[in-house]
Amino acid sequence: DYDAVIAHAAQALPGQPLLLLGHSLGAQLPGLLREHARVSGLLSVAAGSGYWRDNAPRIRRAMPAFWHVLVPLSVRLCGYFPGRRLRAVGDLPAGVMLQWRRWCLHPRYSVGAEGESAQRSYAAVRFPVHAWSMQDDELMTWRGTQSLLALYANAPCSVERIAPHEAQARRIGHFGFFREQFRDTLWPRALQRLEALAQAQPQGTAGATATAG
């Protein structure tokens, strides 16, 4: 779907820079896309490596049991991951969940789990990546964000930490960026960052934006 959206946006606005606003998984996957040569920049929001040791402390303590016991056992019994019943992630096909398990158990996440082809794909990325790490993110840590950026080995990367008070809020968290309350604070700031990414490209300053999360 990600590649299809990029191809559609590029066809709709030919010659314009194509920017990605990627939340969580949406900022992890561009390194594996077939269409990343069309991308002009990525704003990563609340994203990081899913390697379990990089998880926030509250969930990191539960991850060994989750990945080594709950996931393989539930997939074997049900034929899929019944996340809705378990109140964890959501229902996912067995193959998807087991692949994600491999990623999260490897220190280099997707690149480490998928091997040389994934490493070459991430290394081919040349578009700039700017990451926002939310100070009160209950899932992703500062270290996890830095680990994710390290996968984009040949891309110009930068990262900034955002605290709730900067957005005139008591909490942002992992999903908060998309809430209406941040329309006048974080959303304009994101637009400015996307415009800066576009201006760094030779095609011009306006363009299409694809959002994924």
pLDDT tens for residues 120-143? 999 999 999 999 999 999 999 999
Instruction: From the options 3.30.70.20, 3.40.50.1820, 1.20.120.140, 3.20.20.70, give the CATH code of 2-51+119-212.
Output: 3.40.50.1820
Q: Model-level pTM? A: 0.88
pLDDT tens for residues 17-27? 999 999 999 99
pLDDT value of position 63: 96
pLDDT value of position 202: 43
d(CA 125, CA 115): 16
Measured in whole angstroms, the distance separating CA 162 from the mean position of its chain's CA atoms is 16
Mean pLDDT of the region 92-105: 97
pLDDT value of position 201: 55
**Residue 205 region, left (φ>0) first, then alpha (ψ -120 to 50), else beta?**
alpha
Binning pLDDT at 50, 70 and 90, where does residue 89 land? confident
Does residue 8 register a pLDDT over 90?
yes
Task: Locate 42 and state its tokens.
Answer: 């990525």
Binning pLDDT at 50, 70 and 90, where does residue 205 land? very low
pLDDT tens for residues 105-123? 999 999 999 999 999 999 9
Beta bridge mates, 134: 162
> 65, 35 in Cβ contact below 8 A?
no
Give the start-to-end residue ranges of the domains of the chain: 2-51+119-212, 54-104
Beta bridge mates, 44: 22, 131
